[in-house]
Amino acid sequence: QTMGYVLSVLGLGLAALQTNMADNAMRDYGASSIENMLYVNSLGLVIVVIVAAYVDGEEALIYMRDTPHAAQLLALRSLTFYFGALFFTELTRHSGATPATAVATARKGVTVIGSFLLFPGDKPFSVWFGAGLVLFMVAIGLELGGRLYGAKK
């Protein structure tokens, strides 16, 4: 369980680093969104292929071969991820890393809320989820208030 926490924190840190580096490359060095995505996703592809081959290996190939429409579903999922990443990269280019990350976080929050509404029997709504929802709404209010106050100055 500790390793899961370590990997989660590491993933968050690397995602923040990648977003800020992309913002810097596009803003200060004139890199295009497509160029940024090509380099980042090429590196990610190499890492994922190595890890997948090591962890899943032959089982993944057998699953893809034996499961009907698995390849098509994987391609569709990859396509939706591509457009999501392109949107995020364009948002980073035009608004900066912080607003883009705020939008991505809000999207994740809406997804979690939607999962409770669409699939109420799958997981019980706990005090922790409620507290997280309240804190999420407070954060949005503070961010909006800060922007409105800053615009008046």
Q: Which of 3, 10, 27, 9 lies closest to 93 in space, CA to CA? A: 27
Q: What is the average pLDDT across 70-91?
A: 90
Say what the pLDDT of residue 137 is: 83
Q: What is the pLDDT of residue 66?
A: 94
- How many whole angstroms separate alpha carbon 70 and alpha carbon 117? 28
pTM of the model: 0.69
pLDDT score recorded for residue 27: 87
Query: Does residue 34 have a pLDDT over 80?
Result: yes
Contact 72, 80 (CB under 8 A): no
Please write the tens of the pLDDT for every residue from 96-131.
Answer: 888 888 888 888 888 888 888 888 888 777 888 888
pLDDT band per the 50, 70, 90 thresholds, residue 73: very high
Q: What 3-state DSSP class applies to 68?
A: coil
> What is the pLDDT confidence band of residue 58, given thresholds at 50, 70 and 90?
confident
Task: Quote the distance between the C-alpha of residue 34 and its chain's center.
Answer: 18
pLDDT at 147: 75
Q: pLDDT: is 75 or 122 the higher one?
A: 75
